[in-house]
Amino acid sequence: MFVAVSMVGLLLIIGLIADGGVKVRAVQEADALAAEAARASGQAIDLPAAVGGEPVRVDRQAAANAANAYLTAADAPGQVSISPDGRDLEVSVTLTRPTAFLSLIGITQVTVTGHASVTLVHAVTGDQP
């Protein structure tokens, strides 16, 4: 009886370790996807304004489209938000991954959210105007 009860506990611990690794990898993947989507959206600057001497900001529609296109290609649902001044962008990505061992106790998947933000700067040194 002791061995049977111990084996159940041991399997639960192994499950937490294995499925904890699944969750950690999913968080890393979500953060990486969010960072790349934010980077892609930050590339869509408002060129006429920048050439005209105004502070650098993104073309709101092009930036949102770039981030959403990246997330669609990666098959990752997410949201893009752009600050009113067009200099700060934030991307959130939500991923769901199946569990292996924890499904035995009813936890069939883990859901994680990754975040990334980008702030546009005006010079290579990173100085803000």
Confidence of residue 124 (pLDDT cuts 50, 70, 90): low
Which residue pairs, CB below 8 angstroms and at least 24 apart, start in 27-30? 27/112, 27/114, 29/95, 29/114, 30/76, 30/93, 30/94, 30/95, 30/112, 30/113, 30/114
The pLDDT tens digits of the residues spanning 59-92 come to 888 999 999 999 999 999 999 999 888 888 999 9
Q: Tell me the pTM.
A: 0.79
